[in-house]
Structure 1
Amino acid sequence: MRLFICEKPSQARDIARVLQATRRGDGCLAGSGVTVTWCVGHLLETAPPEAYGDRYKRWILEDLPIIPERWQVVVKPKVAKQLKAIQGLLQSCAEVVIATDADREGEMIAREIIERCQYRGPIQRLWLSALDEASIRRALTALRPGEQTLPLYHCALARSRADWLIGINLSRLFTLLGRRAGFDGILPVGRVQTPTLRLVVERDRAIASFVAKPFWTVDATLEADGTRFRARWQPPVNACDDSGRCLTETVAQEAAARLEHRASAQVSSVEIEAVREGPPLPFDLGTLQEVCSAKLGLGVQETLAAAQSLYENHKATTYPRTDCGFLPESMLDDVPNVLRALAAASPALAQWLRSADPARRSRAWNTAKITAHHGIIPTAVVIDLAQLSERERAVYSLIRARYLAQLLPDHEYLKSQVLLQAGQDRLVARGKQIQVRGWKAVIDELGDSDRPEPSQPLPTLREGADIRLLGTTVSAQRTQPPKAFTEGTLVKAMKTIANQVDDPRLKQKLKDSIGIGTEATRAAIIQGLIDHGYLQKKRRSLAATAAAHTLIEAVPREVADPVLTALWEQALDRIESGQLSVDTFLAKQAAWLTQLVHNHRSLTLPLPLPAPKGPSCPVCRSAMRQRKGRTGDFWSCTRYPDCKGTNPIKMSKRSVKPK
């Protein structure tokens, strides 16, 4: 019997349907010579500190650092029955096919079970990027040898255990130091969440310390051949800043007065450039989250949930947790089928589909640039748009527009720049004249463009011509502070955090690994910082709380620095290539951590920390948040699932409605 191990029940049902495994069993679906079973995410988790000794139940500085000699895992209680079912299937199968998500974490979910159950038979890997029937059938004909993807498990295992070392030890260390300073709550520290929090803290500080500077602009209105256009006065070097802004009002007013007394300006140069602009790549998850935050006002977790539902429940789109926007060239064969499905689902797309060319190859079609997954695109499944929620329809529309853009003509326009001289004053007029809207039309109408880009067509001008000068306008303006992060722009900053690193090799490593966190974890990291009370939402913006500022001042610079992730990624690459063992990597992390704890054990936090909102967890003393349960609302520990502490919500007399 060949056993397929999937990551979640919905995925198992889709694969079982193709394999004609329709007979229900204990935690599985069976067919002729094949059985499909499923996990529910991770069935196993790294054991908590108390598993290594009862003394670790109490948080004491003298016990730090906690470094296991032999790592242990425990079964998640809620899924113990499913693990037992898989264990029984592994004992009777002849071959295993790992069919979990095609990435490091997916590999680990299956391999940790296989290892715990001591299965020693042959293993193959099903590498899936979409759950529609055609994609599953194609992947089933191209199973990979298990040895090929085993290094992904080693990478995930090393990262998971090293994150445990940092999270457990430094969170306990700074929580205990916080209690010494009067803070009765948890101060969580982590390799990804702490640099993320630092990004927001530093942005808030930049906004708070920003001093607006006034500057002035002078715009002139000109006319040639019956066409009016605007040109901007260029201030002299001694009157402007590095950005070319005029900082002296009298200089701007005097220039405007001079221009008012002139009847014309002479064209000194004309530059015209024909520009062909290809479409943006299909979405990766981070870019989708950024656009949905800006256009739809969605949080990153809300976007991920909608994209996951489109993939799992509706089979409308491909795998969402991807860091890549490119598409394999082999998928060009699917374009006609996808277009037919889009047409059947939405007749309103007819005008775009008539213009779409299935043979067109944008830069998105590049097999060499594919990582574990390709960009998020529609599948060839005909869906009923009425069955989607309003949020799902909005997200699907964005994904669909980006895909259609790959099949439409390039956006073409003429970009013009004209320099004019009016006595001692110089003017610059810039224009854009659209020749072919191309893919811009579908993005503007159905996609992620907020509004069509404004353009100023310029008349035909020649050097030496005198152009009529009609008048001028002086505008007083002020420089603007940096914008506060939104959830979408924070995800983008996590992806592009290489910009914060000076070392060129480490900078490149962060670029190669797409920043800190993964497409699958960034949303949860941001939500965790909000739940713990370190970030707060103000409409769409995020702001760091006082506790966040204190924590970032207190933690060692190297912990809040993204360089740590870059160094880890270098090491994980070596693990994947067989040049470094998991044990050696963890030994180096343990030595570094031991020294760091020793250096900061006697640290005094710079400021008293504010008390967290709501009650404290009865188990770990962390902050709690309100959740909805089957029998009503209750308080749950913000460290869930690491801590299962709960409290009932006590109703006040005032909250009880009279009968």
Structure 2
Amino acid sequence: ADWLVGMNLTRAFSVLAQQQGHQGVLSVGRVQTPTLALVVRRDQKIASFVPKPFWDVVANLQPQGGPFQAKWLPANANWLDEEGRCINQEAARTIAARCQSGQATLASVETLRKREGAPLVMDLGTLQQECSKRFGFGAQQVLDIAQSLYETHKATSYPRTDCRYLPTSMLSEIGAVVTALLHSDEKLSPVIDRLDQTLKSRVWNDSKITAHHGIIPTTAPCRIDRMSEEEFRVYDLIRRHYLAQFLHVHEYDQTDARLDLAGETFVASGRQVRVEGWKALFPRGKGKGQDGDDEEEEASGAQALPPLRQGESCTVVDLLVKDRQTQPPKPFAEGTLISAMKNAARFVTDERLRARLRESAGIGTEATRAGIIEILLKRGFIRKKGRTIVSTPVGQGLIAVLPPQISNPGMTALWEQALDQVAEGTMTLDDFMERQSVLLDKLIEIALQQPQLNLPEALSETCPKCQAKMRKRKSSNGPFWS
């Protein structure tokens, strides 16, 4: 099915483009094309984004226990946008002036003890996302390193896995893995001394195991002195996620306070760590939540609040009106693009299509996603800009003319689901191939009806001597017109 779609549509659109002066192949594929569409549409959103101003009123308060900040919560809906931000500058400045020299009273204080379990061990996609964000590594680079750690160094288990869980049969190997880690790196001794190898975290779950389990260190010691710096960084991330399973849950007190100040409501949130637990392994202010997403310490509610009690008075030290602006979406990096491919259903706006898709519906596999990004880079459809990935004019032009059936990530994810149905025996292979054949006929019909392709280089230069159209060609010295 992939071969039929890729071969026929690549040929159709490449010939169309060549007839209009564009040199080279316009490759079309069941996974690469919707991946390109994700990047193109993100870039379009960023380009068309118009920042809108809003205003925060922030009070610096001084109770008996120590200073903290609280933010004004506007009561008038006419002052708010759909995200609950104040868009009335005059109202914000009026409130700030009125509350400047008052006393705030704590109307309510609620503190809850929160417990956060250790992150699961790595699958390939999560490893690629983490290494992209932490170290700026490319997806293919991480796959190559993970493969080297598995094959050359014998340091970690099979990397091309989409599973973040471990089978209970491997509980018996915990001692051997931990011993091997200590033999490989004596600097781990303080961490290993704190481990409780009897802990059984949520990672041990036979029902979640797919073709392979999560990526973990092996039971054999390895030579970390023979690893490159990049290899060691990836290895270190893998072993930390394994060791985290044997440290206690991270516990903190989450406090939410509401204050009354001159008849206006101000709110403050904060947390105080009670048990560091597994987060001691991730010391850079970032850890993993239950859903695997990073929790930024500077995020809302991360200030350390002093002890507060209901009815207590707080002196207003000062009150600031902060000019803010809405921010455009961030461009993709390789890690976030891998994440978008894994969770294609998130980007589907069509309600009927969304209803047919599983929440976890993705495009591509753990083993192929890095290669797909490499293909798009090689074809010149996307390019790297620092740590981010942006689409090129050629990539944008291609997505503009392709039918949505081939560029929509949701449609492609539906194909993946249909393949699963064949594997489960709920759809026959003949039925699946028949559907592909019908779809392909439709797609080629659409391709043949395409008007002028709006691609750069398709509009060729004119020869200054004879005014004939010229074509851009490549040589060992670079491109030239002839």
TM-score exceeds 0.5: yes
Q: Matched residues in 2 for 1:452 and 1:561: separation?
A: 32
1:567 is matched with 414
Instruction: List per-residue Cα deviations over 1:432-474 (Å, max 9, x = no partner).
Output: 0000010111022699789983543323323222222221122
2:151 matched to 1:304?
no
2:434 is matched with 587
CA 1:580 to 1:426, structure 2 compared with 1: closer, same or farther past 3 Å?
A: closer
- Picking from 453, 477, 483, the partner of 2:297 is 453
1:261 is matched with 101
1:478 is matched with 325
Following superposition, the deviation at residue 248 of structure 1 comes to 2.2
Q: Secondary structure at the match of 2:323?
A: strand
Amino acid at match of 1:402: H
Q: Would you say the 8 A contact 2:250–2:279 is kept in 1?
A: yes
Q: Report 1:241-280 matches (<5 A).
A: 241-262=81-102, 264-280=103-119
- Picking from 541, 550, 553, the partner of 2:388 is 541
Following superposition, the deviation at residue 583 of structure 1 comes to 3.9
Instruction: List per-residue Cα deviations over 1:376-400 (Å, max 9, x = no partner).
Output: 1111111111011111000001111
1:426 is matched with 265
Q: Would you say the 8 A contact 2:398–2:455 is kept in 1?
A: no
Following superposition, the deviation at residue 296 of structure 1 comes to 0.6
Alignment root-mean-square deviation, CA: 2.4
Q: Matched residues in 2 for 1:362 and 1:554: separation?
A: 50
Equivalent pairs, count = 456
Amino acid at match of 1:592: L
Q: Matched residues in 2 for 1:446 and 1:221: separation?
A: 24
Amino acid at match of 2:135: L
Instruction: List per-residue Cα deviations over 1:188-231 (Å, max 9, x = no partner).
Output: 11110110000001000000000011111121111222411111
Following superposition, the deviation at residue 242 of structure 1 comes to 2.0
Unaligned runs of 5+ in 1: 1-161, 613-622, 625-634, 636-646, 652-659
2:61 is matched with 222
Instruction: List per-residue Cα deviations over 1:52-80 (Å, max 9, x = no partner).
Output: xxxxxxxxxxxxxxxxxxxxxxxxxxxxx
Q: Matched residues in 2 for 1:315 and 1:375: separation?
A: 15
Following superposition, the deviation at residue 585 of structure 1 comes to 2.4
Q: Matched residues in 2 for 1:205 and 1:605: separation?
A: 21
Instruction: List per-residue Cα deviations over 1:492-525 (Å, max 9, x = no partner).
Output: 000011112345786675545x500000000000
Instruction: List per-residue Cα deviations over 1:282-314 (Å, max 9, x = no partner).
Output: 111111101101111100000000001001111
Of 409-418 and 582-591, more deviation after overlay is shown by 582-591
Amino acid at match of 2:83: S
Q: Could you tell me the TM-score, scaled by structure 2's length?
A: 0.89
2:201 is matched with 362
1:232 is matched with 71
CA 1:392 to 1:504, structure 2 compared with 1: closer, same or farther past 3 Å?
A: farther
Q: Matched residues in 1 for 2:414 and 2:154: separation?
A: 38
Amino acid at match of 1:500: F
Q: Matched residues in 1 for 2:362 and 2:149: separation?
A: 26
1:189 is matched with 28
1:167 is matched with 6
Q: Would you say the 8 A contact 2:285–2:297 is kept in 1?
A: no
User: Which structure would you say has the larger Rg?
Assistant: 1
CA 1:341 to 1:434, structure 2 compared with 1: closer, same or farther past 3 Å?
A: same
Q: Matched residues in 2 for 1:468 and 1:344: separation?
A: 57
Q: Matched residues in 1 for 2:378 and 2:413: separation?
A: 27
- Picking from 123, 131, 148, the partner of 1:284 is 123
Instruction: List per-residue Cα deviations over 1:84-128 (Å, max 9, x = no partner).
Output: xxxxxxxxxxxxxxxxxxxxxxxxxxxxxxxxxxxxxxxxxxxxx
CA 1:508 to 1:432, structure 2 compared with 1: closer, same or farther past 3 Å?
A: farther
Q: Matched residues in 2 for 1:226 and 1:446: separation?
A: 25
Q: Could you tell me the TM-score, scaled by structure 1's length?
A: 0.66
Q: Matched residues in 2 for 1:482 and 1:580: separation?
A: 39
2:177 matched to 1:338?
yes
Following superposition, the deviation at residue 360 of structure 1 comes to 0.7
1:151 is matched with none
CA 1:582 to 1:413, structure 2 compared with 1: closer, same or farther past 3 Å?
A: same
Following superposition, the deviation at residue 256 of structure 1 comes to 1.4
Q: Matched residues in 2 for 1:554 and 1:483: separation?
A: 25
Q: Matched residues in 1 for 2:287 and 2:253: separation?
A: 23
Amino acid at match of 1:603: Q
1:377 is matched with 216
Amino acid at match of 1:493: A
1:388 is matched with 227
Q: Secondary structure at the match of 2:67?
A: strand
Of 414-423 and 229-238, more deviation after overlay is shown by 229-238
Of 170-179 and 468-477, more deviation after overlay is shown by 468-477
More relative contact order in 1 or in 2 (CA 8 Å, sep 6+)?
2
Unaligned runs of 5+ in 2: 289-293, 460-471
Following superposition, the deviation at residue 347 of structure 1 comes to 1.5
- Picking from 522, 525, 528, the partner of 2:375 is 528
Q: Matched residues in 1 for 2:285 and 2:254: separation?
A: 25
Q: Matched residues in 2 for 1:209 and 1:452: separation?
A: 28
Q: Matched residues in 1 for 2:160 and 2:119: separation?
A: 19
Amino acid at match of 1:239: W
Following superposition, the deviation at residue 340 of structure 1 comes to 0.7
Q: Would you say the 8 A contact 1:217–1:252 is kept in 2?
A: yes
Q: Would you say the 8 A contact 1:191–1:564 is kept in 2?
A: no
Q: Matched residues in 2 for 1:270 and 1:448: separation?
A: 27
Following superposition, the deviation at residue 576 of structure 1 comes to 2.1
CA 1:265 to 1:580, structure 2 compared with 1: closer, same or farther past 3 Å?
A: closer
Following superposition, the deviation at residue 600 of structure 1 comes to 2.9
Q: Matched residues in 2 for 1:268 and 1:426: separation?
A: 9
Following superposition, the deviation at residue 564 of structure 1 comes to 3.3
Instruction: List per-residue Cα deviations over 1:3-53 (Å, max 9, x = no partner).
Output: xxxxxxxxxxxxxxxxxxxxxxxxxxxxxxxxxxxxxxxxxxxxxxxxxxx
Q: Would you say the 8 A contact 2:357–2:410 is kept in 1?
A: no
Q: Would you say the 8 A contact 1:181–1:604 is kept in 2?
A: no
